[in-house]
Amino acid sequence: MSGRSGARRIAPVDTAPRDLETRGASSRHADLRLWLRILTLHKLVNNEVRRRLRDSFGMSLSRFDLLAQLDGAAQGMRMGELSKRLMVTTGNITGLVDELESDGLVERLPDPVNRRASLARMTAKGRKAFDAAAKANETWIEDMFSALSATEKSTMFDMLGRQKDFVVAHLRAQEAPEPTPARTRRIRG
C-alpha cells in the first residue's frame, strides 16, 4: 500500500500460461493430474505439429493423417476403414477425400469387392507431398521428445501401452452383454 491514506492496492495480473493441466495442479488426485498432464502434452505437441504442417507444407493435420493412413496401402482403402482408423465420421472422410482428390493428392477407385463402395488411394503427387511432410514431422517429433533418454522413452512407451491395454479391456468388459440367467425347467413327475 502507498503512503497515502485510502489508496487501494491493485492486485497483480496473473499472466501465467493456462493449459489443461493448470486446473488439476493443486489436486491430490494423482490419476486426474496424470490424465491432465497427458492431455496437455498431447495438445502442445499436436498444436505445434499443426502449425508447422500448415506453415511449411500448406497442409492441415487432417490431410496429413489421412495420407498417413493411405501410406503403404498400394491398393487403396475404403472410406469406412479410413473413418475407423481416424476415428471420425465417414462424412468427414468423404469431404477430406474430395478435397485431396481435387488437389490431385488422392484418387478414387472402384472397390473390386463391393460395387457400391470406392477406395481412396494416394497419387504420385500425393506421395511426394506426404513423404516430404512425413520426413519433417518425424524430425519435429524427435526434437520435441529430445529431453528424454532412449531408456526413458522406452519405459514411458511400455507404461502407456500397459495403460492403453487396461483401458481397452476395461471398456470391452463394460460393453459385453450381461449374461442372462438360464431358465430352469420344472420337472413334472
Please indicate, yes or no, if residue 30 is contained in any of the structural domains: no
Give SS3 for 76: coil
Sheet holding 106-110, edge to edge: 77-78, 118-122, 106-110
Domain count, the chain: 1
Look-up of cell digits 474430395: 98
Nine-digit cell at 121?
488411394
Residue 19 has, within 13 A of its CA and on its CB side, a CA count of 15
User: Within a domain: residue 183?
Assistant: no
Task: Indicate whether 118 belongs to any domain.
Answer: yes
- Position 38 in a domain: no
pLDDT in tens, 22-45: 665 666 788 888 999 999 999 999
- Long-range Cβ pairs for the range 130-139 (8 Å, 24+): 130/64, 130/67, 130/68, 130/70, 130/71, 130/105, 132/57, 133/53, 133/56, 133/57, 133/59, 133/64, 133/67, 134/64, 134/68, 134/71, 136/52, 136/56, 136/57, 137/49, 137/52, 137/53, 137/64
Q: Answer yes or no: is 98 within a domain.
A: yes
Residue 113 lies in a domain: yes
Of 82, 63, 72, nearest to 120 by C-alpha is 82
pLDDT in tens, 147-173: 999 999 999 999 999 999 999 999 999
37-82 confidence digits (pLDDT tens):
999 999 999 999 999 999 999 999 999 999 999 998 989 999 989 9
The yes-or-no verdict on residue 121 having pLDDT over 90 is yes
Establish if 104 belongs to a structural domain.
yes
18 located within any domain: no
How distant, in Å, are the alpha carbons of 36, 109, 111, 118 from that of 115? Answer: 46, 10, 6, 8
Whichever domain contains 72, its CATH number is: 1.10.10.10
User: For residue 126, what are the domain limits?
Assistant: 59-170
pTM, full prediction: 0.73
